[in-house]
């Protein structure tokens, strides 16, 4: 008897990185000068990363300061 639709408990894809447990093993990658394309996009992306508990990497040529992103996240 074949059993294709067995009960599935799910996978745990959380990862521990630098002493913090994130909900996913990937994060938001840096995009240089993203603020030129969309105003305040580094802040928007940092807030989204915090809300979803995933890492956020700020670009070295970002339109926002690292201090501003640190306040948000």
- What digits encode the pLDDT tens for the residues 6-34? 787 788 999 999 999 999 999 999 988 88
Q: In angstroms, rounded to a whole number, what is the distance separating the alpha carbons of residues 46 and 69?
A: 7
Flag whether the pTM goes above 0.85.
no
Q: In angstroms, rounded to a whole number, what is the distance separating the alpha carbons of residues 8 and 15?
A: 21
**What confidence category does residue 3 fall into, taking pLDDT thresholds of 50, 70 and 90?**
confident
Percent of the chain with pLDDT over 90: 64
43-59 b/e (C-beta count within 10 Å ≥ 16 → b): bebbeebeeeebbbebe
What confidence score (pLDDT) does residue 36 get?
Answer: 85
Mean pLDDT of all residues belonging to the chain: 90
């Amino acid at each position: 008897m074949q059993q294709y639709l067995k009960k599935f408990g799910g996978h745990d894809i959380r990862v521990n990185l630098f002493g913090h447990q994130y909900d996913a093993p990937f994060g938001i990658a840096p995009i240089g000068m993203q603020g030129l394309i969309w105003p305040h996009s580094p802040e928007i992306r940092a807030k989204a990363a915090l809300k979803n508990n995933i890492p956020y990497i700020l670009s070295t040529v970002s339109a926002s300061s690292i201090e501003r992103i640190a306040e948000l996240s």
